[in-house]
Amino acid sequence: MDNTSTPAEATSNNPTVGILGLGLIGGSFARAYHAAGWRVAAFDTDADTLAIAMIDTVDTVLDDASLADCDLVILSAYPEACIAWLQSRAQTLDELGAEGPLVIDSAGVKGALCNRAFDLASTYGFTFCGAHPMAGTEHSGYAYGSADMFVGAPMVLVPPQLDDVARLELLDRAHTLLSPCHFGRFSVTTPADHDRVIAFTSQLAHVVSNAYVKSPTAQAHHGFSAGSYKDLTRVAHLNPDMWSELMIQDADYLADEIEIIINALDKYRVALINRDRVGLRELLAEGDQIKRALDDMPR
């Protein structure tokens, strides 16, 4: 088949991506690789979602046969399901040897998942690299995915412990295989550092937003709210099944961050109770200065 005239049409000569889980993130990966002309092999436990995705985006079901064709496999199911899949396919990946795909995940926590995946990869001789695309919406599911979900977004990579040469080779391979997604930039970190920072930047944001709407006053606010309320409560709407699994995997760091913001908030409360305007002004000025310094940092 001549694919020069239809570059976006998937053929068996094109590279193949395997995707486990066609939710918001997996569904966006599927669309991005399809749009770039890759073959897309995918699986989702929801048969309807898989059937819908196969109408115009997914070329074939991800199974042992199509796995053998994959250049890249992206695990986009919940963390426990990713590990279960990896365990069940480890023997197949072992048999593929050096011809096998790079396997990455896309989960929001790295410690528990990466450390088990690194062990499996080491035991069975395949290559796994942790990955966390910093993208998403407050909506869940395949229907909300899009081919440009990752355009310009940061991508955090969490490679296994390797010597410098092997590490550079792995990161270079990941960059190349992820190029159809057009990430804005790549960072590299360890599972523990990732989970410590993500507890603050992402999980705490969801907890605070989710807690915010629980005030009884929320029921009386209509017509009284501007952009600040809207921003603070946007991610109150979330997928409780996914987030509870992610948060429990990052429980210690997240519990610490919640304690930190509780202690910070209590200072404002005490200043208000004491009618301490000077103290309240200092607390507000301190936050303002920190925020401005953070915004001025190179990204």
Residues 204-233 interacting with a second copy (rule: CB under 8 A): 204-229, 231-233
By CB under 8 A, is residue 262 in contact with a second copy? Answer: yes
Which helix (H) or strand (E) segment is 244 a member of?
helix 240-249
105 contacts a second copy (rule: CB under 8 A)? no
Tell me if 81 contacts a second copy by CB under 8 A: no
Q: Hunting for tokens 């040897």 — which residue is that?
A: 97
What is the DSSP annotation of 39-74? EEEEE-SSHHHHHHHHHHT--EE-SHHHHTT-SEEE
Closer of 7 and 227 to a second copy (Cβ): 227
* Residue placing its CB nearer to a second copy in the complex, 47 or 214: 214
Asked if 53 contacts 44 with a C-beta cutoff of 8 angstroms, the reply is yes
Q: Is 250 helix (H, G, I), strand (E, B) or coil?
A: coil
Residues 173, 258: Cα–Cα separation, whole Å: 37
Q: How many residues bind a second copy (CB under 8 A)?
A: 98
Per-residue contact flags (x/-) with a second copy for residues 133 to 172, judged by CB under 8 A? -xxxx---------------xx-x----------------
Element (H, E) at 10: none
Q: Which two tokens stand for residue 254?
A: 């997240």
Considering the complex, state which of residue 11 and residue 274 has its C-beta at the smaller distance from a second copy. Answer: 274
User: Residue 185, interface with a second copy (CB under 8 A)?
Assistant: yes
**Shortest gap between Cβ of 183 and a second copy (angstroms)?**
11
Tell me the closest approach of the beta carbon of residue 29 to a second copy, in angstroms. Answer: 16
